[in-house]
Chain A
Amino acid sequence: MMETLFYGAAVIALAATLAALTRTNATHALIYMILSLLAVAVIFFLLGAPFAAALEVVIYAGAIMVLFVFVIMMLNLGEEGRARERAWLGGRSWVAPAIIAALLLLEMVLALSHVRDTTSGLMVAPKQVGLTLFGPYVLAVEIASMLLLAGLVGAYHIGRRFIVRRREHH
């Protein structure tokens, strides 16, 4: 029965992702995206990675997607935004992306065709994750923290409202 839960969550994740990427309304796409992330969190939980599942929900869906929401609200795309998106999602532009993505999927399927393992079924507790993190991977923690600092400063600086000069840039 748990396996069906897994496959159901997988289908939901896939469908939600597809939906998210084909919407014209940005907000709708975001909601579908959050749905997809939640489904993936369920999958994490089922695989015995509760810490990863919690982080997925809290940080990915809860912080990163919320950032998206803020910006979209700020940009205020509106009805004409949706009309533009509809225009851009016209017929001919699907051909090349679809073909390339399909071929890539095919290749990855071929590459994965001889994997014979199964997941172990063990649960890896947060405590173990914490011990490993601040054990062998402590350098990665430091680097990640520096990365986040850089992201913070960069985002603040780039997002500032500069004095817009009268001269137009072309």
Chain B
Amino acid sequence: MQDELREIVRKLLADGAIEYFIGYCQGSEPHRVFPCFVTEESEVEKLVLGPLCLQNLSKYVLQARDLGGKVGVLVKGCDTRAVVELIKQHQLERDKVVVVGVPCQGQVDPRKLEQALGVPLERVTGVEDAGDEFTVTVDGKARKVGKEQVLRDKCFFCKHPMSFEYDYTLGDVVPFIIDAEKSEYAAVEALEELPVEERRAFWRKQFERCIRCNACREACYGCYCTECLFDRKVPRWLDRPPLPEENEIYHLIRAVHLAGRCIDCGECERVCPVRIPLSRLYKKVQKDIAELFGYEAGMELDTVPPLVNFDLDDQDPFM
């Protein structure tokens, strides 16, 4: 599949169909994969593909807005939703981007992998997909790890292992079985059932840790405003010191801004240096949107997002 990808990119670059291609390359350590920009045919060999390709590359496509030509991008099924959303939100024109869809067999959560293996990740030299398991190479020896143990949380409830909006595709998904007993929103529901004081205490503890490095915002495909309101001096929405109150404002405002746009790519939580369970916050908004308005972001190109639309018969608990 990797060779197939390289072949497609080589051809695209040779034909001059794209200015550059956004894909993944080997990072500083064997278990790390970085996003990379391939501009020359000679660089095509850098491209890699595997269960450790975690980043949502759709974020980088936005740079192509000011580009004369087109740009190619590699998307997994889940990232396709970001591309669809960007087109819907008029941030991107469909003909500006060449989408190469890859079938995704599930992504590995490095933290879970480290725990499952019981060895530092530095000793892992390769992770390969093998049906219901991953073949992990540790110190040159192959070990099998079940997918249930190491898959990213979002992969358990994957709706689109295959991208559904693409120009090129690299084959089909090989079906595999994983055990996902709980519902998609189980973590949210567990929190919803707690009394209000405990919920407040829970989130306070989370927001207290936030150092406001803005990593969640930078990694988010949906944060494309030229000037973010948090960076604005007048009016100033946030005081600079990362106090719990300020952090609460930060995260709640981000949650409402992404209402109806969050595609659950999980990047915010993945990049968080203090491991705030952000997807539990965004998932809640997603759940409400699904329940109240029957809408899911990034699924179809022609549905209208719920918050820029209304229905005369919407429920009205405010009379």
A is bound by B: no
Q: Which residues of B contact A (CB under 8 A)?
A: none
